[in-house]
């Protein structure tokens, strides 16, 4: 087969700035946000300017959450940007919509506080984005806004959406799984290679994310089996704003890869250049989202997005001490009078503690090279690395050894964890592989599909 190349970008979260993204209430909202808001129009314009001039591929895939939160004006503006991009570059664009693209209750901000712009209905998405995959499809499922497209003479793209009118993040029923299976079998019968794209990850980006129900496709194993056992061994996803490449194997021995890509408008901000070399070999390369025009306070685009991520984590730690009720709501802990007293004490201690001091508290020896580091700084870096991928806290590094000692201390009390889809997870192994990457490089890798 002839090699095929395409670019992939996800979670563009385009927000039309003229709707309003400023003011005191806006700043308070952004204290808890990983992704940017006001800057998204500028970031997307820079990203698609780059892609228009990028000459390695003439296809772009966009893996969902096209608009910030379903504002109709944002969807219209992003659709216009894509039309302009297609016309100027001559490239083909294929999208999947997701939960942030339709909403009855979107919001914006100005000097008067939170406002409510007009939202987008699920039934309006087809007309907004029909020129980016739907009208070129060789198979189309209207209920699920899902389709099959010919990327080349040899490769087909299966685009699957887990939203329907009135519902988001649904479990795929037997009828829709049957439709997916039929498309995969048809590709095999026609001698075509098929790859897939869905907004939600099918495999947890990092092991700890298996605990979060919203972090992956509901009843994911059914989808994995349906795809991999019928010749589809690779899916491109987004949603969690993390950079990861993971692999599993079905009971029948078929490999299945999930390539999840960071959001265009939040740390880690990357796109992918994908080369399908042959039916068994796919090369993945990561490209940073380009710098963008904005008052970034002297920072590069990458530094600016990283600062927003760190702001979110630092605000969370600050609220533990100063606003425990808001902290507990953010981390889904039911507030109680006792916890409202305990968390400020913990937060106060942690805000002043060094990594060495934290180690002494738990009788853990910490390498001298990190003893004097502030615990909060260490925690922020560790949290960010879970999303950035290629997590550095592996065995044999000062930070990794300290964390593994901590997990061993906790292990007698928490031997297993229950995943959101009913699976039993070993606590120590889950945490070890969450803070340290011992597997596939999350940025650049050559995948062997069988």
Distances (CA, A) of 233 to 103, 224, 226: 32, 9, 10
**pLDDT greater than 90 at residue 332:** no
Q: Are 190 and 184 in contact, with CB atoms under 8 Å apart?
A: no
Chain-wide mean pLDDT for the chain? 97
Q: What span, in angstroms and rounded, lies between the C-alpha atoms of 406 and 428?
A: 10
Q: Are 220 and 214 in contact, with CB atoms under 8 Å apart?
A: no
The rounded radius of gyration (Å) of the Cα atoms in the chain is 22
Question: In a 10 Å sphere around its CB, with 0-12 CB exposed, 13-18 middle and 19+ buried, how is residue 153 labelled?
Answer: exposed
> Looking up tokens 């296809």, which residue turns up?
59
Rounded (5°) CA angle 366-372-376: 90
Residues of the chain with CATH 3.60.21.10: 4-293
Where does the pLDDT of residue 96 fall: very low under 50, low under 70, confident under 90, or very high at 90 and above? Answer: very high
**pLDDT greater than 90 at residue 330:** no
Q: Are 258 and 267 in contact, with CB atoms under 8 Å apart?
A: no
- What are the φ/ψ torsions at residue 168 (nearest 5 degrees)? -120, 155
Give the global pTM.
Answer: 0.96
Average confidence (pLDDT) over 174-200: 98
Distances (CA, A) of 18 to 40, 73, 75, 83, 101: 12, 9, 13, 20, 18
User: What is residue 288's predicted lDDT score, i.e. its pLDDT?
Assistant: 98
Task: Find the helix or strand (DSSP H, E) in which 5 lies.
Answer: strand 4-9
**pLDDT tens for residues 426-443?**
999 999 999 999 999 999
Where does the pLDDT of residue 54 fall: very low under 50, low under 70, confident under 90, or very high at 90 and above? Answer: very high
**pLDDT greater than 90 at residue 331:** no
User: What is residue 106's predicted lDDT score, i.e. its pLDDT?
Assistant: 97
User: What is residue 447's predicted lDDT score, i.e. its pLDDT?
Assistant: 98
**pLDDT tens for residues 242-287?**
999 999 999 999 999 999 999 999 999 999 999 999 999 999 999 9
User: What is residue 289's predicted lDDT score, i.e. its pLDDT?
Assistant: 98
**pLDDT tens for residues 356-394?**
999 999 999 999 999 999 999 999 999 999 999 999 999
Percent of the chain with pLDDT over 90: 98
Where does the pLDDT of residue 135 fall: very low under 50, low under 70, confident under 90, or very high at 90 and above? Answer: very high
Q: What span, in angstroms and rounded, lies between the C-alpha atoms of 313 and 241?
A: 15
For 101, the token pair is 């693209």
Q: Are 34 and 68 in contact, with CB atoms under 8 Å apart?
A: no
* Nearest one of 360, 278, 267 to 305, comparing CA atoms: 267
- Does CATH place domain 4-293 in 3.60.21.10? yes
């Amino acid at each position: 087969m002839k090699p095929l190349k395409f670019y992939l970008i996800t979670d563009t979260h385009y927000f039309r700035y003229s709707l309003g993204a400023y003011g005191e209430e806006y700043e308070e909202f952004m204290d808890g946000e990983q992704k940017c808001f006001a800057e998204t129009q500028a970031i997307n314009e820079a990203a698609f300017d780059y892609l228009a001039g990028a000459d390695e591929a003439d296809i772009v895939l966009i893996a969902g959450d096209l608009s910030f939160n379903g504002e109709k004006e944002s969807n219209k503006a992003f659709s216009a940007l894509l039309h302009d991009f297609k016309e100027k570059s001559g490239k083909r664009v294929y999208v999947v919509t997701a939960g942030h693209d339709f909403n009855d209750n979107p919001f914006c901000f100005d000097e008067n506080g939170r406002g409510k712009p007009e939202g987008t209905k699920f039934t309006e998405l087809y007309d907004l984005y029909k020129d980016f995959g739907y009208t070129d499809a060789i198979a189309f499922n209207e209920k699920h806004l899902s389709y099959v497209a010919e990327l080349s003479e040899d490769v087909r793209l299966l685009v699957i959406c887990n939203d329907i009118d009135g519902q988001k993040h649904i479990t795929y029923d037997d009828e829709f799984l049957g439709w997916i299976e039929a498309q995969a079998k048809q590709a095999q019968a026609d001698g075509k290679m098929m790859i897939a794209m869905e907004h939600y990850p099918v495999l947890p980006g990092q092991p700890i994310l298996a605990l979060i129900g919203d972090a992956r496709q509901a009843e994911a194993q059914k989808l994995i089996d349906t795809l991999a056992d019928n010749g589809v061994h690779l899916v491109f996803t987004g949603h969690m704003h993390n950079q990861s490449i993971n692999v599993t194997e079905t009971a029948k021995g078929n490999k299945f890869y999930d390539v999840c890509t960071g959001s265009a408008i939040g740390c880690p901000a990357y796109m992918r250049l994908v080369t399908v070399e042959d039916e068994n070999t796919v090369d993945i390369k990561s490209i940073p989202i380009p710098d963008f025009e904005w008052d970034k306070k002297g920072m590069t685009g990458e530094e600016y997005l990283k600062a927003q991520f760190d702001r979110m984590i630092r605000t969370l730690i600050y609220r533990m001490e100063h606003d425990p009720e808001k902290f507990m709501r953010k981390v889904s802990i039911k507030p109680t009078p006792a916890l409202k007293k305990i968390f400020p004490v913990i937060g106060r201690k942690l805000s002043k503690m060094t990594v060495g001091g934290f180690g002494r508290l738990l009788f853990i020896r910490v390498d001298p090279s990190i003893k004097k580091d502030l615990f909060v700084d260490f925690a922020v870096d560790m949290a960010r690395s879970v999303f950035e991928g290629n997590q550095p806290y592996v065995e044999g590094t000062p930070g990794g050894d300290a964390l593994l000692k901590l997990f061993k201390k906790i292990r007698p009390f928490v031997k297993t964890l229950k995943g959101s889809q009913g699976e039993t997870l070993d606590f120590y192994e889950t945490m070890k592989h969450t803070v340290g990457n011992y597997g596939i490089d999350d940025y650049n890798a050559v995948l062997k599909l069988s």
